A and B are shown apart, each in its own frame.
Chain A
Amino acid sequence: MRQSRMSTPEPAARAAHTSTLSALDSIFRQTRGTVTLLLPAALGITIGLLSLTPRVQGSALLTQSFLGAAGFVLAWAALLAFTARRGGWAPTIEISLRAQHYIQACCQMAVLAYWGWHWRPVYAMAVLLAAQVVFAYAFSMLLAWSRGERYVLGFGPVPIIFSINLFLWFRDDWFWLQFLMVGVGFLGKEFVRWHREGRHVHIFNPSAFALGLFSLVLIATGTTDLTWGREIASTLTLAPHIYLYLFLVGLVVMHFFSITLIAGTAAAVLFGLSALYASVTGVPYFVDSEIPTAVFLGLHLLVTDPSTSPRTPLGKSLFGALYGLGVFALYSILGAAGAPTFYDKLLCVPLLNLSVRGIDHFVRNVGARREAGARRPDSLTPSVLFPGGMRNLAAMGVWVAFFAIMTAAGRTDGRHPGDSVPFWQAACADGRANACERLLSIEASYCGDNSAWACNELGLHYAEGLVVEADAELGERYFARACELRFQPACVNLVDPGTNARAEPRSLDLRLLLREGGLNLMQAPESELYLRACDHGWRFACDPRLGSAPTGGEPPSGVA
Chain B
Amino acid sequence: MSERPRRSRGVVLAAAGLVAAVWSALMLSRTADDRAAEADPLPGLPPVGQLDGFRADAWYMPDDSTLGFVEIPGGPFTMGSDPGVDSLAFDIEWWGEGRVQGTPDIPTFFIGRFEVTVAQYAAFVGDTRHPVPDTRTLQDPPSHPVAWVSWPDAVAYARWLDTRLRTPPGALPDSLAGLVADGWRVALPTEAQWEKAARGTDARIYPWGDAPRTDRANFRAASPVPVGSFPCPECAYPVADMAGNVWEWTRSPFRPYPFDDSIERIDLSADALWIMRGGSFGDTEQYVRAANRGGADPGARRAIIGFRVALVRD
Residues of chain A touching chain B, judged by Cβ–Cβ distance below 8 Å, are 32-34, 83-84, 87-92, 145-150, 177, 180, 183-184, 187-188, 190-192, 213-214, 217-218, 220-223, 226, 476, 479-480, 483-492, 494-496, 499, 501-504, 506
Contact = CB atoms under 8 A, between A and B. Distances in A.
Given A145-B4, A148-B4, A492-B268, A484 B18 contact: no
A252 B155 CA distance: 61
B15 A188 contact: yes
Contact of A90 (B1, B6, B270, B299): B1
A214 B29 CA distance: 16
B298 A180 contact: no
B6 A149 contact: yes
A221 B24 CA distance: 9
Interface string B11-37: 110110011001100110110000000
A456 to B, nearest CB: 10
Contacts of B8: 147, 191
Given A491-B253, A491-B298, A148 B271 contact: no
A224 to B, nearest CB: 10
B26 A488 contact: no
B4 A485 contact: no
Contacts of B87: none
20 contacts: A32-B1, A34-B1, A88-B1, A90-B1, A90-B3, A150-B3, A184-B19, A190-B11, A223-B30, A476-B156, A480-B150, A480-B156, A488-B269, A488-B270, A488-B271, A490-B272, A491-B253, A495-B251, A495-B263, A499-B263
Contact of B272 (A90, A188, A220, A487): A487
B97 interface: no
A496 B263 CA distance: 8
Nearest to B271: A486
B266 interface: yes
Kindly state the interface size class of chain B when it binds its partner. 35 or more
A339 B43 CA distance: 30
Contacts of B268: 488-489, 492, 501-503
A89 B3 contact: yes
A221 B19 contact: no
A528 to B, nearest CB: 21
Contacts of A486: 271-273, 297-299
B3 A495 contact: no
A221 B4 contact: no
A466 to B, nearest CB: 20
B125 to A, nearest CB: 14
Interface of B: 1-8, 11-12, 14-15, 18-19, 22-23, 26-27, 29-30, 150-153, 155-156, 159, 188, 251, 253, 263, 266-274, 297-299
A483 B249 CA distance: 14
B187 to A, nearest CB: 8
A494 B156 CA distance: 9
Nearest to B251: A495
A483 B298 contact: yes
A60 to B, nearest CB: 17
A506 B270 CA distance: 9
Nearest to B156: A480
Contact of A480 (B5, B7, B152, B267): B152
A217 B27 CA distance: 9
A84 B263 contact: no
Contacts of A89: 1-5
Nearest to B20: A217
A175 to B, nearest CB: 13
Contacts of A223: 26, 29-30
B156 A148 contact: no
A177 B15 contact: no
Nearest to A491: B272
Contacts of A90: 1-3
B19 A491 contact: no
Contacts of B297: 486
Contacts of A484: 150-152, 298-299
B3 A488 contact: no
Nearest to B31: A221
A451 to B, nearest CB: 14
Nearest to A479: B152
B30 A488 contact: no
A187 B15 contact: yes
Contacts of A33: 1
Contacts of B22: 177, 180, 214, 217
Contacts of A149: 6
Given A183-B18, A223-B26, A476-B156, 4 more contacts: A148-B5, A476-B159, A495-B263, A503-B269
Contacts of B23: 217, 220-221
Contacts of B151: 483-484, 491
Q: Which of A150, A489, A491 has the most CB of B within 10 A?
A: A491
Q: Which of B156, B267, B271 has the most CB of A within 10 A?
A: B271
A33 B1 CA distance: 8
B7 A147 contact: yes
Contacts of B273: 486
A89 B152 CA distance: 73
Contacts of A503: 268-269
Contacts of A84: 4
Contact of A148 (B7, B152, B263, B272): B7
Contacts of B159: 476
A261 to B, nearest CB: 32
A322 B170 CA distance: 65
A187 B17 CA distance: 12
A485 B7 CA distance: 63
Nearest to A83: B4
A479 B272 CA distance: 13
Nearest to B150: A484
A495 to B, nearest CB: 6
A504 B3 contact: no
A379 to B, nearest CB: 48
A86 to B, nearest CB: 11
Contacts of B156: 476, 480
Contacts of A476: 156, 159
B2 to A, nearest CB: 5
A494 B152 contact: yes
Contacts of B12: 191-192
A145 B18 CA distance: 20
B184 to A, nearest CB: 17
A148 B298 contact: no
Closest 4 CB pairs of A and B: A484-B299, A480-B152, A148-B4, A148-B6
A479 B251 CA distance: 15
B133 to A, nearest CB: 9
